[in-house]
A and B are shown apart, each in its own frame.
Chain A
Amino acid sequence: MPGIGPKTDADRNAGGEVAVSSVSAAGRRQRWAGLAFTLPGVILLALFLAVPFLMALGLSFTNERLASPLPTRFIGIDNYARTFGSSSFRQALGNNVWFTAIVVPVQTGFALALAILVNQRLRGVKVYRAIYFSPVVVVMTVAATVWLLLYSPDRGLLNGILSVISFGTLQSSWLQSEMMALPSIMIMSIWQGVGFQMIILLAGLQEIPEEMYEAAAIDGASTWQRFAYITVPRLRNTLIFVATVTMILSFRLFDQVWVMTRGAPLGNTNVMMLEMVNVGFEQQHIARGSAIAVIFFLIVLTLTIVQRRFIREEVD
């Protein structure tokens, strides 16, 4: 298509009569340029995503071990059957679902609230943006270690504060408590992840023309009405993006759990990624670990597709 790419010498020199042929030459060159630019990305994705995944898919039907003198054999769907038959896998899957069901709406809600908060024209608002964003910059393992200290039952800051304000009546053993362990990880994860979502939503907010709010204000719309009828519909695509990404990240939950609990107590914080590492690497059943990876991929893929379908239909 003429006019999109930068003008080539051929365009400038040639008269109107040769325009057709020069455009197609430029177009071809552009296509090559496009391919050349995407190639490194495609190669890297193929090498480090597609190929390992295909290998995992292949391995998941074998008896492959990390270290074993036994010949690799095709064993059909045995790994999948054993995976679904394992109570710890089912518990991990349940924890993932529960974690995602809570974290996605709460974190997206918080991110939206923060984005609106830091979208105001106030002096020093950039400082607040930086503060809310800072947990994102911290490496997860470091953040998890810090929270491990905060949650410590005997010497942790959190119990310290709770005990002071409640005169010693309110205490929790947090990560060691069957009831509080997963919620504790949810809180920590939301704290760490919310800043990223905030920045994306902030960009979305700044896309909304100021005039729309002014017009609404003249029409007598209340603050709530402006939020519900301008902000939310206008942010729709951004919100969908944020919710989808948060969902995928929630399913990928691993670092925090690895550092803070390793799945304890009683598997209450066990998640699929952790189960995969335990089975595939600690117990060296690389084939069964691969089966978990494939199951994980299919679940996330299905959820993403369903989410997109579901939301598209609403538009129509």
Chain B
Amino acid sequence: MKRGSVRRHRRGIALAIGLALVLTACAEDDEVLDEAGCDGEITQDEIEIWWHEGAEAEVRAVEDFVAEFNASQDEVTATLTLVPEADYASSLRGAAASGDLPDVIDTDASFAFTYAWAGDLQPIDSCIPDELMDDLLPSIVEQGTYAGRMWAVGMFDSGLGMYAVRSALEDIDARIPEGPDDAWTVDEFDEILADLRAAGYERPLDVKKNYGQGEYYSYLYQPFVWSAGADVLADDFSQADGHLNSPEAVEALTRFQAWHLDGYVDENEDDAAFVEGRTPLSMVGHWEFSRYSETYGDDLVLLPLPDFGQGTRSGQGSWQWAISADADADAAWSFIEFTLQPDQMERMSEASGALPARSSIAEQTERFGPGGTAELFRIQLEEGYTVPRAPHPVYATVSSTFNQAIQDIIDGADVEDALTRAAETIDDDIEANEGYPPPE
């Protein structure tokens, strides 16, 4: 009898401990948004920086910047931690969830706003001097702004294009567009695919299938939706249903699906479809420009993506700096500002192949400046041919569901079904988050 009661007791204690743990787990995380921003006074002498370990040249540039920054002044010491790119998003998510974000992070485009909304970041508009603000590409400002505040700033911006072998296009008498305002229509593009196949290219289009399902799908294929005159979300980010699955979006992605189902797309398992000449067309971002122009020289031509009805559209936005809520904004900003100086920005552009984030610098570079071989990327960004991925905390869900929908469409799913399912998942998420009330 006595034993039984002890045992029962013990069970009660275990249950109590368990419940207590559950309750404490629930009670955490009511963080108040830190409105500190920059006040011109540095109060922290050490800052920790995270950078995604992606392209080697970019990593080396960031390492150099950190070393030079530390050598250039003695107020703030920066330490850099490199996190493998494949695990970067999950590392950030984990660190944010446990309140361990470093002072300065870099995030891919709209992912910063998940953290901004959650109160893990602080706005940086009070840090950016007017002169710099005026010089930043409009796309950089647009991509860093949410709820009327600026939360992130990049050293460079990105762009998409259709790389083509000029001679292959001339052989089939295809029209070669001059710029973004006379991009191929999607009908024209379908004909070009068929003509190229007739000319001996069994699978003439490379869309970097080897990248697989991931953020790249959102980056490359949301522009098709925009180009068709549709959008992924309502203008106020409150709803996806009726936008992502609108007839225009369905039509555009059905045309895209046909390229896959008709076998026009190279698997590109070796990531060399274009450079080995299997495909005379490769739809991809600015980062392939160097490799492709080394291979083809003057025979390479950079064209806008096909126009699905309302003009060509390209993605924009890339990795950008943000400051965590707990950091001293002035200390963190002193490092970020260092990387936005002309010299650093030029070197980073050299390393990444991307467009410098300041108009004054972008226009001076040989490649992106007027008449430059990759001028298209700058024109697209400056003249409104690019659309940011929804600068809103819902983007994390938009991205993962859109990527899933694209994968399903490539695999032959009914386009309208796939997009409707994605729209419902997104709307479900918006509802579960009570419409993402903006931070005060």
Contact = CB atoms under 8 A, between A and B. Distances in A.
Interface of A: 50-51, 54-55, 57-59, 62-72, 82, 87, 152-155, 176, 178, 262-267, 278, 281-285
B325 to A, nearest CB: 11
A64 B378 CA distance: 42
Contact of A266 (B21, B413, B429): B413
Given A67-B93, A283-B400, 4 more contacts: A54-B21, A67-B115, A69-B119, A264-B213
Given A69-B31, A283-B397, A176 B26 contact: no
B26 A62 contact: yes
A70 B439 CA distance: 10
A69 B25 contact: no
B429 A285 contact: yes
B22 A54 contact: yes
B118 A54 contact: no
A266 B411 contact: yes
Interface in B378-436: 396-397, 400-401, 404, 407-408, 411-413, 421, 425, 428-429, 432-434
Contact of A64 (B26, B33, B396): B26
A58 B25 contact: yes
Contact of A82 (B19, B25, B428, B433): B428
Given A58-B26, A67-B114, A155-B269, A265 B411 contact: yes
Given A55-B22, A278-B400, A71 B433 contact: no
Given A59-B26, A264-B213, A284-B93, A70 B408 contact: no
Interface in B47-82: none
Contacts of B119: 69
24 contacts: A54-B19, A54-B22, A57-B22, A58-B25, A58-B26, A66-B96, A67-B114, A67-B118, A68-B118, A70-B434, A154-B267, A155-B269, A176-B411, A263-B404, A264-B408, A265-B408, A266-B413, A267-B408, A278-B400, A281-B90, A283-B397, A283-B425, A284-B93, A285-B429
Contacts of A66: 93, 96-97
B198 interface: no
Interface string B91-113: 00100110000000000000000
Interface string B78-90: 0000000000001
Contacts of A263: 404
A55 B421 contact: no
B26 A284 contact: no
Closest 4 CB pairs between A and B?
A58-B22, A265-B411, A67-B118, A54-B18
Contacts of B184: none
Contacts of B269: 152, 154-155
Contact of A283 (B411, B412, B429, B434): B429
Contact of B97 (A50, A57, A67, A176): A67
A267 B90 CA distance: 23
A146 to B, nearest CB: 15
B23 interface: yes
The dominant DSSP class at the A interface is loop
A220 B93 CA distance: 68
A47 B408 CA distance: 40
A67 B412 CA distance: 34
A285 B267 contact: no
B411 A65 contact: no
Contact of A63 (B97, B408, B421, B432): B432
A265 B270 CA distance: 21
B118 A69 contact: yes
B254 to A, nearest CB: 16
B213 A58 contact: no
A50 B21 CA distance: 11
Nearest to A69: B119
B120 interface: yes
A65 B269 CA distance: 37
B27 A55 contact: no
Contact of A70 (B115, B267, B413, B433): B433
Nearest to A65: B433
B368 interface: no
Nearest to B17: A51
Which of B97, B115, B213 has most chain A Cβ within 10 Å?
Answer: B97
Contacts of B411: 176, 178, 264-266
Nearest to A73: B26
Nearest to A85: B428
Nearest to A74: B26
A71 B21 contact: no
B18 A51 contact: yes
Contacts of A54: 18-19, 21-22
Contacts of A72: 26-27, 29
B112 to A, nearest CB: 12
A131 B439 CA distance: 60
A251 B70 CA distance: 52
Nearest to B439: A69
A55 B24 CA distance: 10
